[in-house]
Amino acid sequence: MEKNIVELALDTPELSTLVAALSRADGNLVNVLSGNGPFTVLAPTNAAFSAFLADNGFSSLDQVPTDVLSQILLNHVIMSDVTSSDLIAAGSGYAKGSATGAGDQNISIFFDTTNGVRFNNAASVSTADIV
């Protein structure tokens, strides 16, 4: 039986902060991502969370307001199955994320595969297609 996204994260030490963040977030994200999907999670590593905390003046995940944390996490969830080969074939474009912006519209995530797979010109994929 295939593992769900939360189970995969629990088995991956470098995603332990993601698991903690999912547990703290609004909207019962642990249960949502434990479901069948389809969805793709651009899973931030512990190092990415540490950089986010430092860049925003937080000393721990507990200091991040849960509504902010929820939107950040939802911005890492694409509500479809997307593989790295799908992105590479497209070259660049937008994928609809689960976070919402003005007017409760879903925020799109920009991707470009010119120099590896990058999202929003900031984050690179370190390990692709963990399923």
Angle between helices 16-24 and 46-55 (to 10 degrees): 60
Give the chain's mean pLDDT.
Answer: 83
Task: Please state, in angstroms and rounded to a whole number, the distance separating the CA atoms of residues 120 and 93.
Answer: 10
Domains and CATH numbers, the chain: 5-124 (2.30.180.10)
Most confident of 34-38, 44-48, 73-77, 98-102: 44-48
List the structure tokens of 91.
């070259």
pTM: 0.79
Band (129; pLDDT cuts 50, 70, 90) = low
For the segment 37-56, the average pLDDT, to the nearest whole number, is 89
Asked whether the predicted pLDDT for residue 9 surpasses 70, the reply is yes
